[in-house]
Amino acid sequence: MGKGEDLVDVKELKDLELFKNILKSDYDDNSIQDMISKIYLSFPYIEEYFFDRLGKNDKRRLISMFEFYRRLNENERRVITPKDVFFLLKDIAGRRQEHFIVISLNSILKVIHTRTIFVGTLNYALIHPREVFADPINERASGIIIAHNHPSMDTNPSREDDMITKRLIDAGNILGISVYDHVIFSKNSFYSYKNEKPEFFN
């Protein structure tokens, strides 16, 4: 038998078999399949509770594996959907004050930089295009996504939110830096202007 002939070609394995190869202990197939389903629905955003049915060592093994994957891809993080924005800014969602955030993106939607430019109750007069676009211009960003949290947990936009969004989209069109979306988010949900009010972007 030649060297390596006894090795399984992992590319040919089904998901269930692949996970059984990773785990040290034995688990029933339904538990593993449930875990796989949760991973597929949320990937690349992984929560620890996905692995609650596993033993301590196997749980640590998988969390470490996904953390390593996250680090490998950190420099290539792309923001394509509102859900991407929601998970990118998840640590801000529960803050008691509103945070207005600008995400600078390059031409392939890779994140150049994420910054908070304002903390407090949003006001049309306070969110000025000068502050929003100053850094993206220096970074030669192709576009930006703006976002802010609603501590009230109600992600429906206010009239003030509409005015801010329209003002920044218009400014971006003049500057040649597209505003791809404005995402309002809370701990459990998000609202995308691009999805809900696409006419703002026409």
Instruction: Say yes or no: 96 and 180 in one domain.
Output: yes
Question: pLDDT tens digits, residue range 154-167?
Answer: 999 999 999 999 99
Instruction: Say yes or no: 68 and 136 in one domain.
Output: no
pTM: 0.66
Instruction: Say yes or no: 67 and 87 in one domain.
Output: no
Instruction: Say yes or no: 114 and 193 in one domain.
Output: yes
* Boundary residue ending a domain (50, 76, 102): 76
Which CATH number covers residue 119? 3.40.140.10
* Boundary residue ending a domain (53, 76, 99): 76
What are the angstrom distances between the C-alpha of 138 and each of 68, 105, 131, 133, 145?
32, 12, 12, 9, 16
Does any domain span residue 171? yes
Can you list the alpha helix ranges (DSSP code H) found in 7-94?
A: 15-22, 29-42, 56-73, 82-88
What are the angstrom distances between the C-alpha of 14 and each of 9, 28, 34, 163?
11, 16, 15, 51
How many domains does the chain fold into? Answer: 2
Instruction: Say yes or no: 92 and 146 in one domain.
Output: yes
- Distance from C-alpha of 88 to C-alpha of 78, rounded to nearest angstrom: 10
pLDDT at 3 > cutoff 60:
no
Question: pLDDT tens digits, residue range 102-117?
Answer: 999 999 999 999 999 9
- 151: containing domain: 82-201
Question: pLDDT tens digits, residue range 12-22?
Answer: 788 888 888 88
Does any domain span residue 101? yes
The mean pLDDT value for 23-51 works out to: 82
Instruction: Say yes or no: 137 and 181 in one domain.
Output: yes
Does any domain span residue 39? yes
- pLDDT band per the 50, 70, 90 thresholds, residue 5: very low
Question: pLDDT tens digits, residue range 169-199?
Answer: 999 999 999 999 999 999 889 999 999 999 9
Q: Identify the three-state secondary structure at position 192.
A: strand
* Boundary residue ending a domain (47, 76, 105): 76
Question: pLDDT tens digits, residue range 59-107?
Answer: 888 888 888 877 766 556 789 899 999 988 988 888 889 999 999 999 9
Residue 66 CB: number of other CB atoms within 10 A? 17
> What does the pLDDT read at residue 73?
63
Does any domain span residue 2? no
Instruction: Say yes or no: 118 and 185 in one domain.
Output: yes
Beta strands, E only, 36-170: 99-105, 111-119, 143-149
**Helix (H) or strand (E) segment spanning residue 190:** strand 190-192
Higher-confidence residue of 152 and 124: namely 152
Instruction: Say yes or no: 59 and 102 in one domain.
Output: no
Which strands make up the sheet holding 190-192, listed edge to edge? Answer: 111-119, 99-105, 143-149, 178-185, 190-192
Instruction: Say yes or no: 46 and 141 in one domain.
Output: no
